[in-house]
Structures are given as C-alpha cells and as structure tokens.
Chain A
Amino acid sequence: MSFSASDLLTLTREGLYCPLGGFHVDPTWPVPRALITHGHADHARAGHGRVLATGETLRIMAVRYGAEFCESRQEAPLGQEIRIGNVTVRFAPAGHVLGSAQIAIEAQGVRVVVSGDYKRAYDPTCLPFEVMPCDVFITEATFGLPVFRMPDTRDEVKKLLDSVALFPERAHIVGAYALGKAQRVMALLREAGYDRPIYLHGAMEKLTELYKQEGIPLGETPKVVATERAKLHGAIVLCPPSSIQDVWSRKFPDPVTSFASGWMRVRARARQKGVELPLCISDHSDWPDLCRTILETGAGEVWVTHGQEDALVHWCGTQGIKAKPLHLLGYGDDGEAEPAAAPEEAA
C-alpha cells in the first residue's frame, strides 16, 4: 500500500502525532517533543520536553508560563524547511495572533498542512495568512456555519466609538481575550484615530507589553487602578471576558458592557453573557474564508479539528473534496462554558 497522509499524521490521546518525526502538534498533554502553532493556552501548554515554534510564540509562552516552560526550545523561522527525523516541516503565517503559524509536514511526496487557528481578515498586529498548497489540509471550524460572516472590523470599532460619543459619562468595558484580541482591538482603535489612553485590566498588562516590545504600536495603555475605577467616565477599558460579568466591572461609572468576539454574531450568545454592545471581531476564519482557503490550498482531502465540523464536512462533499471530522478534544471551541471556567482564549 502506498504512503498516505494518515501514515504521516495519526491521532493520539495527546492530539496529532507524526510518527516519522517523533513529534506532536499542539499537544494537550505534556509530550517529549512538540510543535506549537500559536500561544493560546489550549494549543500551547507548559511542561513539554522540546518545543519548536516561532520566536514570538516562544516568547509568549515564556511570558505566560515563565522562562522554564519546557526543557529546550528551538525557534522556527517562517518559510524555512526544517528536517525532523524523516520529515520536513515548514512554518508559515496563520494570521491568527502574533506569532501564529501553520505547519506544513512533508514526507515521500505527501504534504499535510496543520493550520492551527487562522484567519484571513485584516489584523494590524500579526502577519497575514499565507496559502500553502497541500494534499491534506487540516482546518479548524470554530465558525464553521454560513451564518458566520464577519463584518468589517472598522465598522465594529466605529460602533464602540459611537457609543462612547453617545454616552460620554459612562465607562465602556470591553471583554477581549488577553492574547491577540485585546491588542488587535487596541490597534484598530488607534487606526480609527482614538488617541486617549486605553485602560487595561491587570490580566492584559504583560502580554500587551510584549506586543509593544515586538514592535506593535498600541499607544498609551495604563493599568486600571482599583481605587480610581469610579472616575473613569467615558473611558474604554479592556478586560478578560470573564471580568465583564464580574463585580470588578460594576465599580466603573454606569458601565456599558461590551465584548469583542466572533460569537457576538449570534444575539442569544450576547444576551447570555449580558453584553449590551456586542462587537463582532473574530480571530478565527469566518465561513466564506474557511471555504475559500480550502479551495485555494488545492487539497484533495480536508480534516476538520474543532468547532462546527458537520457543516464544513458537508460543504466539502458538495465540492467533491473528501473530508472528515477529527473530533479532537481539549481545544476551546464552543464558548458555552462559564467564562471563568473556560480556557481564556476559547474564541
């Protein structure tokens, strides 16, 4: 029998595994050797032996888990082929968050691309997604339903600024995942001409500082001082999603509760979270981009990792592309869980 993609990558308890290279990709448990696509906590965990990832991702992991998050680390320069065991791997930008990458794995003329989480929409804080032609494309499907068509982020940011103008005495509390979304919102606000300080919940401080060190201008971003909260009339405050429902946010002057997430596409989701000003800003591909990307890779087969896989698998069928769900566990994909219990960057 000829060599195929399922010889190149198999499913183990820890996640995707490449037997010829002896490594896992984004394992959810500690493993001897891991390739990491990006720094979100459900993909990048501490405690592995050797870790290969982009420099930005390694630095993000160091900020989150401390410098000793693994035994040894190696930086993967984008676009360069790296030999591991009997396979060749290559990292390319995924457009998800700073440092996010897809990983192409190739052996005996068969190439599989593990895309991790990715998006095609505009994001001033990371490199844009790059199409890598392949035989098998492994895709997420977080927003894998045709109702998920994300609007232009500039319009969403304008919604926020319009609300600040209409309610100048109220603080606007914007929930955003601490890695990626928060910094993207800050950058978009700056591009829209907003030059006042953007206040940060303590949980966002370190990663925002890292983004600035990586050369992404975000302007003045002071940390909220607990005793000063009641004075922040008209301020924009960014905090982790769990904090918008927290007593913490109630100390601001008559707060407007906002949340920047692709989930805000669905009204019921916004209402369940008590969001008054939903901002539909997603770091995942929307439906048209998922479909477009699959076609552009030229893949004859698609494996769907996590999210709304049924619809995407069905769509692939209508396009004559073989597709199957992988039912990978451990990745944040539903956003149903209590904010406090969910992985911080679930969406």
Chain B
Amino acid sequence: MNDFAHLLDRLAYEPRRNAKLRLLQDYFTHAPDPERGYALAAMTGGLTFREAKPAMIRGLVEARIDPVLFGLSHNYVGDLAETTALIWPAPTSRSDEAVVGPGHNNPPPHVPTLAEVVETLGTVKKADLPARIAEWLDALDETGRWALLKLITGALRVGVSARLAKTAIGALGGHEADAVEEVWHGLEPPYATLFAWVEGRGERPTTLNPAPFRPPMLSHPIDEDGDFEKLDPAAFSGEWKWDGIRVQLVGGRDAAGAQVARIYSRTGEDISGAFPDLAEAITFSGAIDGELLILREARVQSFNVLQQRLNRKAVTPKLLEEFPAHVRAYDLMHAEGEDLRPLPFSERRARLEAFVAALDHARIDLSPLVPFATWADLAAARADPAAVGAGEDADAIEGVMLKARDSAYLPGRPKGPWWKWKREPFRVDTVMMYAQRGHGKRSSFYSDYTFGVWRAREDGAPELVPVGKAYHGFTDAELQKLDRYVRNNTTKRFGPVREVAYGLDHGLVLEIAFEGVQRSTRHKSGVAMRFPRVARIRWDKPAAEADRIEALETILARGEREIAPGETLTEAQG
C-alpha cells in the first residue's frame, strides 16, 4: 500500500504526461502481483466496494485528537483526508518502545497491502469497518494514510486517466494502448493474465466477452489553408458531425446463448447502465459505431438537452421518457462474428446500411451521407446544413466529417483517412478580468484568463461580469506579451490569481471563440461557454466596446429552441 501511495503522491504533483507515464511504468515494473493489478484497477475505476463516509473518518480522528485542534487544522488544510493523514497519531513511537523495553509483546503494526485493503473492503461488515480503517491508519505512513482515505472515500483523483494507465501497461511489453484496450473488457482485477502477457510470460488474454469494446477510429481537424488542395473530393465520403457523445453498441451471445448488450463510451467505459432504453435495442450480434443523441418527435436535440440526461445519477422512468436516447449509426465494426474493420469504408457503409435496415429499430438510425462533388459544395453544406438535407436537425450538427472511401477502420487517430471540419465557432469580444498562473511548462506564466462581458447593473450602470476562462489559442510569443500585460496591470493578488485592471476606459479585449452556450448556476452570469479559447488579442480595441451579455443570451436562446418533453412540434414552434 505504501508503494502505491507514494506513486499516487508523485502523480498528484506531476503535470507532464510523459513524466506520469514514466512514474507509472516504473511502478508497474517493480510492484508485485496482485498489488499492481489492484493499483491499475484503482486508477481505471475498476474497483467496487463499500465506501467510507466522511463522518465516520471524522469520528475516528476525534476519538484520538482534541476536536478543537482537529477543527483548527481541518480549516487550515481544507481537506478531510489530508488533515486526517497528517494529524493521525503514531500508535507506538520508538521512545515508547524504549520505555516498555525488550520482551514486551508489542509486534510492529502490520502494513496492509493494497490487495488486502481492496479484498477486505469487499467483504467487511459495516459495523467492523471503522475498526479496520483505524488499524490500517495506525500501520501506514502519512502518504499511505492519505492515499487510503482518498481510495476508501471514493475521491481518488490523481490526474491519471484510464487511457494513460493502459498506455503505461502496454509500454511494458512494447504494445500500444489500443492493444490493451482490445483485451481489456474480458479482464478482471488484479489482471494477472494481462501482466503476464505484456511481460512476455503468457499468451495474449483471449477475450471471452461476447460484447467487447474495440478502440474507436478518430479523426484529425482539417487545416483549411493547406489540406484541401492535397485531397481529392472524389476519394471521400461526407457525413454530418453530430454534437452528441461517441458510443459503440455491441451485442453478442454468451456461452449459455443469452444475449449480451453493451454500450461503451469512446474511452471504453461501459455506460450500458445509464442507457437501458438504448441497450434494449441491441438485439443483434455485432458492433455499431455511432453518436448517442436525444431525439424528441424524431428531431435531434442539442447537446444541452443530452447533458441534462448525462448529469443525472439515477435513471428514472421519467428521465427515460423525457430524454429518449438514440444512436445515429455511422460505422459497422463487427457483424455476426465477422470483423469488418479491415474492409474499406465504402464496403462497411453498404454493410451498415443493410444492417440498420434489417434491424429496423426506432432507436437506431443511419447517419446520412452528405453528397458533394467539390470542396466548395462541402463548404456550403457545412455553412448551412439545413439547406442540404439536415433540416430541423441542423442545430445539433457541429460540422462535417470526411472519410476516405478506401480506408480500413483503424483504432486510434491515424493521420489521413478521417478528417473533421467543424462549423465556424461563435465569437464574442470580452475583457480580461483575472489571470492565473499555468502549470508545467507554463508555470511561470499567467496563462489562464477569466474574461467578462458587459451587463447593466441594477442601477443601470454598466459592469463586467465573468463568463468564462480560456487558457489556449495563443502562441508562445503572445503568451509572453499577455503575461507581461498581466504583471504590469495587476490590481489585486489572490495566491496564484491576479486581478487585472478593467473598466470602461481600461482593459484588454480578448476575442473568444467557442462552440456554444449553456445555462450555468456556477457562474454569476448564469451562462457558461463550451470550449472557449482566445481567437485574437485585441490590443487595439477599447474595453467599452466589448460585447454585452445579451450576445450570449441570444445564442443560448437559439440552443434552447428544443421541444420540451410532452410538447408537440407545433406547440414548441409557436
């Protein structure tokens, strides 16, 4: 447990991806089985056990430490697990042992392994849990206590994605992360067969999973200034780029002949439980790649609406009724036991069309092709999808996709066969209000900017209200200029954050590009932007001429022109 804890400790402070990878590889190489397997499970969200409640932890501490001192400490540190880890009294210090003297039956505390912790948490009775946790806290060092408390309270966030952990595992044996993904869904913690395989001691684990995840094929953004002239329009198919979430619908029969239905996110997370309405539609044997969308009255709803379903924890009948999930299919990876991925796109597309037609299910339809002869045709479709057949669904389209007709389905992000060409972003002129220092290579620079737009105060006077934060979209040279601007125009300092001068007659205008607007209770302005980034730095523009909040509210209103649950189309339009 202590080794795992020290790994988490280093990872928590390490901003660089490659360095994280190195730390992970170092740990996976040296840690024994099954310890490292449970560590992998902890980092990939593969552990399930009874979580400990903060009140119980607090109770354990207050039985050992003056509650006033604990309270002052907790206020100061600001995190219960960390405060507890730091303040937990050492059970037997060396000086105590000296007093007791030799011969006293006082064995050193047993330091639990991660495997022991995980196995115990899976079986322990609720009433016995506090005593077990106290024993572990007694035995572990401070970093161990911190990691244990984070783990058992379900708050283990150390900046490692499941993908990164799998990349590290793959690298142990010179495999790509996708090779690990291919076998992943047949495996259980502590993954002994996986480690044996990557270390060359065992066979590649054969997946007995009748409905496995397969790593998806991803696209590159197209560069309008250079890529088109190198590409032949006749070699590509066009499709709408839907603003939903990428999923795989996978169906198959298990050894007993029962149907298995799975929905996977693009990172391989099994999200079937959240979409029982859609899982029911998986009556086939095969794997469909597509976009999960909410459809009402056969009309695709905006990402805002989908997000309302994604944000709910409990899947209630009401939720299923108000937010019906659909999949718009665009590829067929597997069908009736046959791996279609080596086939060219045009052939897979024909198979997909036949497959979806035969399935004939209201929840699964085909993503239409966008016909075009020249790049100009495609540009017109992208600019106005409604005019080129997207009709009422145009608001849920975020651009077009280009797929080479002769391309096989390749996992990962190969450059060349698939391109995405997103719609022009929205743009708004804002005023910089706060700046925060960045991380990693940018840690010396003020690189994260909070910006605001104008609105009328209650007395009618204009004021700036923060509407978002952006930390990319500028070059290194621009960053240096922005950093200097922040340092020279600071009005207040709050730890790593600085307030800069802003107002009607001073302030820096940042033109922000973004993909959409959502309602937000977290922001004072009531709105939040999607993917905001700095499009241009308007050194020339007076702050008073920046945009007003109404500009964002108009975009918000457009996105919300959906059909409310239970309404008919005509009512919504009226």
Q: For residue B68, which residue of chain A has the nearest CB?
A: A314
Stretch at the interface among A104-112, A229-237, A246-254: A246-254
Smallest beta-carbon distance B145→chain A, Å: 12
Q: Confirm or deny: A6 has a beta carbon within 8 angstroms of a beta carbon on chain B.
A: no
Contact of A338 among B77, B78, B493 (CB under 8 A): B493
Stretch at the interface among B8-16, B115-123, B346-354: B8-16
Q: Interface size on A (CB < 8 Å)?
A: 36
Smallest beta-carbon distance A121→chain B, Å: 15
Q: Is the CB of A272 within 8 A of B495?
A: yes
Q: Is the CB of A314 within 8 A of B69?
A: yes
Q: Is the CB of B72 within 8 A of A311?
A: yes
**Total contacts A-B at CB 8 Å:** 78
Q: A103-124, CB under 8 A of B: which get 1 and which 0?
A: 0000000000000000000000
Contact of B69 among A246, A270, A277, A311 (CB under 8 A): A311
- Chain B contacts for A338, CB-based, 8 A: 493
Q: For residue B19, which residue of chain A has the nearest CB?
A: A167
- Chain A contacts for B72, CB-based, 8 A: 145, 308, 310-311, 314
- Chain A contacts for B77, CB-based, 8 A: 147, 266, 268
Smallest beta-carbon distance A60→chain B, Å: 30
Q: Confirm or deny: B86 has a beta carbon within 8 angstroms of a beta carbon on chain A.
A: yes
- Chain B contacts for A257, CB-based, 8 A: 443
Q: Is the CB of A147 within 8 A of B76?
A: yes
- Chain B contacts for A336, CB-based, 8 A: 495
Q: Is the CB of B86 within 8 A of A272?
A: no
Q: Report the bound CA distance from A268 to B82 in whole Å.
A: 10
Q: Report the bound CA distance from A268 to B73 in whole Å.
A: 14
Smallest beta-carbon distance A202→chain B, Å: 18
Residues from 69 to 107 in B contacting A, C-beta threshold 8 Å: 69-70, 72-73, 76-79, 82-83, 86-87
Q: Confirm or deny: A275 has a beta carbon within 8 angstroms of a beta carbon on chain B.
A: yes
Q: Is the CB of A278 within 8 A of B76?
A: no
Residues from 518 to 544 in B contacting A, C-beta threshold 8 Å: none
Q: Is the CB of B82 within 8 A of A274?
A: no
Q: A273-313, CB under 8 A of B: which get 1 and which 0?
A: 11111100000000000000000000000000000101100
Smallest beta-carbon distance B436→chain A, Å: 10
Q: Is the CB of B443 within 8 A of A267?
A: no
Q: Report the bound CA distance from A268 to B78 in whole Å.
A: 8
Contact of A267 among B16, B23, B79 (CB under 8 A): B79
- Chain B contacts for A267, CB-based, 8 A: 12, 79, 82
Q: Is the CB of B69 within 8 A of A145?
A: yes
- Chain B contacts for A274, CB-based, 8 A: 437, 439, 443, 496
Contact of A275 among B13, B69, B70 (CB under 8 A): B13
Q: B433-475, CB under 8 A of A: which get 1 and which 0?
A: 0000101010111000000000000000000000000000000
Q: Is the CB of A308 within 8 A of B69?
A: no
Q: Report the bound CA distance from A311 to B83 in whole Å.
A: 15
Q: Report the bound CA distance from A265 to B496 in whole Å.
A: 18
Q: Report the bound CA distance from A305 to B44 in whole Å.
A: 48
Q: Confirm or deny: B234 has a beta carbon within 8 angstroms of a beta carbon on chain A.
A: no
Q: Is the CB of A265 within 8 A of B86?
A: yes
Q: Is the CB of B87 within 8 A of A147?
A: yes
- Chain A contacts for B26, CB-based, 8 A: 166
Contact of A245 among B14, B76, B437 (CB under 8 A): B437
Smallest beta-carbon distance B76→chain A, Å: 6
Q: Confirm or deny: B31 has a beta carbon within 8 angstroms of a beta carbon on chain A.
A: no
Q: For residue A249, which residue of chain B has the nearest CB?
A: B444
- Chain A contacts for B69, CB-based, 8 A: 145-146, 311, 314-315
Smallest beta-carbon distance A341→chain B, Å: 8
Known: A272-B495, A276-B14. 7 other contacts (CB 8 A): A145-B69, A147-B87, A151-B142, A266-B77, A266-B86, A268-B77, A311-B72
- Give 6 A-B contacts (CB < 8 Å), ordered by A residue: A147-B77, A149-B142, A166-B26, A311-B68, A311-B69, A314-B66
